[in-house]
Amino acid sequence: MQNKRIFGMLTAAGCALFAASAMGEASNVVSNDFESVAADSQISLQEGWTGYGTVTNGNPGYANTVGYPTALGHTKVLAVEGRVTCSNTTMTASKPTTVDMMVQIATPDDALAFPSGTDTSDIQIAVGVDTDATLKIWCANKSDAAAWYSLGSTAYDVGSWHRVSFTFDYVNALCQVRLDGEPMMTANGYLTTDTTNLPGENGSWYKLASSSTKLVSVQVIGSTSIDDLLVKQDAAAGATVNDVLPVLADANGSTGGVPNSWIEEQGITRATTTAPDNSGMTVAQKYATGLSVTDGQVFAITDMSMSGTKVTLTVPAATARAGHNTIQYSTDKTSWTDAVTDASGTVQVDINPTSGEAPAVIYVRLINK
- Residue 255's contacts (CB-CB under 8 Å, 6 or more residues apart) are 263, 270
pLDDT digits 0-9 by tens, 150-186: 776 778 888 888 888 899 999 988 888 888 888 887 7
In the chain, % helix, strand, coil (3-state, to 5) comes to 5, 35, 60
Residue 52 has a pLDDT of 93
| In the chain, % of residues over pLDDT 70 | 75
Better pLDDT: 9 or 136: 136
Alpha-carbon span 96 to 167, nearest angstrom:
7
Predicted local confidence at residue 190, as pLDDT: 64
What is the rounded average pLDDT of the residues 132-137?
Answer: 85
| Residue 216, number of CB atoms within 10 A of its CB | 20
Q: What rounded mean pLDDT belongs to the chain?
A: 76
For the chain, domain boundaries:
4-249, 303-367
4-249 domain in CATH 3.40.50.1370?
no
pLDDT of residue 9: 31
Contact between residue 52 and residue 83 where contact means Cβ atoms under 8 Å apart = yes
Whether the predicted pLDDT of 106 surpasses 80: yes
The pLDDT assigned to 20 comes to 29
| Residue 369: per-residue pLDDT | 55
Contact at 8 Å (CB) between 268 and 284?
no
The pLDDT score that the predictor gives to residue 183 is 82
What is the CB-side half-sphere exposure of residue 205 using CA atoms within 13 A?
22
Measured distance CA(298)–CA(277) in Å, rounded: 10
Helices (H) and strands (E) in the chain, counts: 2, 21
| Bigger pLDDT: 273 vs 324 | 273
pLDDT at 355: 67
Q: Cα(54)–Cα(31) distance, rounded to whole angstroms?
A: 17
Work out the percent of the chain whose per-residue pLDDT is above 90: 8
- β-pair partners for 54: 42, 79
pLDDT for 44 equals: 92
Statement: residue 227 has pLDDT above 80: yes
